[in-house]
């Protein structure tokens, strides 16, 4: 499918020029971001977060409904640590460039697999959070985003309205993508004329299927990532390198 060879890592120029040309005529751009763009802000990937104190645990032992049911305090401990990393991180030039891109094209749909809220902090609006947001709490009884009760002691956070247990508002192993996010992301991929896959390994479905859906509907599909992925051979342009450098450069080539 790829109608050009991926450029060598040292020369991302040809791919970027092709992406810039596609963007300059785009009516609707759909962007999917993954862990790579947040890693450039110092946020460890899910697997990289299994270090130090946590290195002997499998992800399913920390991020599944079963693990939470068995030992909510333990699961919360891991999430509080990860929340602290997120709070300390700042959006990088890649996040800012995507917020700016939304102002330069008629329409942009931004779908992220990241749970850190860095796109919003960079100024992006209407972000579709495929896997939720680690900084939000959700009540396990009411299944809605909830505030914490102020007057309950103990080690577990409780819902301000019903007193039920709170959990991080993220998608765990064995759980479905929130329906609203799924539908909005599908609609964006189906309708766009340019699709950008940025900083994602393109291994985790259903997110990984969005690029194929966009291509099937006739969109120009580009991958911006440090490494080759399963998707690389099925896109129109591949640009290798850090999104924090490539996306600002893309904006420069796009012009005002
Ligand atoms: Zn509640």
| pLDDT tens by residue, 207-232 | 999 999 999 999 999 999 999 999 99
From the CA of 114, how far away is ligand 1's center (Å)?
A: 25
> What percent of the chain lies above the pLDDT cut of 90?
80
Task: State in words which class domain 49-88+133-170 has.
Answer: alpha beta
From the CA of 157, how far away is ligand 1's center (Å)?
A: 11
Domain ranges for the chain: 1-43+91-131+176-256, 49-88+133-170
What CA–CA distance (Å, rounded) separates 217 from 200? 21
From the CA of 209, how far away is ligand 1's center (Å)?
A: 34
Catalytic residue ranges: 131
From the CA of 64, how far away is ligand 1's center (Å)?
A: 20
What CA–CA distance (Å, rounded) separates 110 from 45? 20
- CATH code 3.40.50.800 for 1-43+91-131+176-256: no
Using pLDDT thresholds of 50, 70 and 90, give the confidence band for residue 55.
confident
At residue 202, does pLDDT exceed 90?
no
DSSP E strand boundaries for 5-142: 29-33, 108-112, 128-129, 132-139
- How far, CA to CA in Å, does 171 sit from each of 65, 76, 194, 248? 10, 14, 27, 31
Using pLDDT thresholds of 50, 70 and 90, give the confidence band for residue 7.
very low
First to last CA, the chain: 31
From the CA of 148, how far away is ligand 1's center (Å)?
A: 9
Using pLDDT thresholds of 50, 70 and 90, give the confidence band for residue 180.
very high
φ/ψ of 66, rounded to 5, equals: -65, -45
Whole-number pLDDT of residue 153: 67
pTM of the model: 0.91
Whole-number pLDDT of residue 2: 46
Residue 126's Cβ-side half-sphere holds a number of Cα atoms within 13 Å equal to 13
From the CA of 77, how far away is ligand 1's center (Å)?
A: 21
Whole-number pLDDT of residue 214: 98
DSSP string over 84-106: HHHHH----HHHHHHHHHHHHSS
- Token pair 């765990």 is found at 172
Burial zone of 35 (CB within 10 Å; 0-12 exposed, 13-18 middle, 19+ buried)? buried
CB 110 within 8 A of CB 97: no
Kindly report, residue by residue over 126-144, the tens digit of the pLDDT. 999 999 999 999 999 999 9
Q: Which residues of 136-162 are buried (b: 16+ CB within 10 A; e: fewer)?
A: ebbbbeeeeebeebeeeeeeebbbbee
């Amino acid at each position: 499918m790829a109608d050009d060879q991926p450029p060598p890592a040292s020369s991302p120029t040809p791919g970027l020029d092709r992406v810039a040309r596609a963007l300059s005529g785009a009516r609707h751009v759909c962007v999917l971001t993954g862990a790579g763009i947040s890693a450039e802000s110092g946020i460890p990937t899910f697997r990289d977060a299994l270090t130090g104190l946590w290195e002997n645990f499998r992800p399913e032992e920390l991020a599944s409904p079963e693990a939470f049911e068995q030992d909510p305090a333990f699961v919360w401990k891991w999430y509080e640590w990860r929340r602290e990393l997120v709070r300390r991180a700042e959006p990088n030039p890649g996040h800012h460039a995507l917020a700016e891109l939304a102002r330069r094209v008629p329409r942009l749909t931004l779908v992220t697999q990241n749970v850190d809220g860095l796109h919003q902090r960079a100024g992006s609006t209407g972000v579709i959070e495929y896997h939720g947001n680690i900084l939000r709490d959700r009540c396990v009884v009411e299944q809605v985003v909830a505030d914490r009760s102020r007057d309950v002691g103990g080690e577990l956070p409780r819902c301000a309205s019903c007193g039920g247990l709170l959990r991080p508002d993220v998608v765990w192993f064995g759980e479905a993508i929130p329906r609203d996010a799924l539908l909005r992301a599908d609609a964006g991929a189906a309708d766009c004329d340019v699709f950008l896959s940025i900083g994602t390994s393109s291994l985790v479905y259903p997110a990984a299927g969005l690029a194929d859906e966009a291509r099937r509907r006739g969109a120009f599909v580009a991958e911006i990532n440090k490494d080759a992925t399963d998707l690389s051979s099925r896109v129109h342009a591949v640009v290798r390198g850090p999104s924090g450098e490539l996306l600002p450069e893309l904006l420069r080539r796009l012009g005002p």
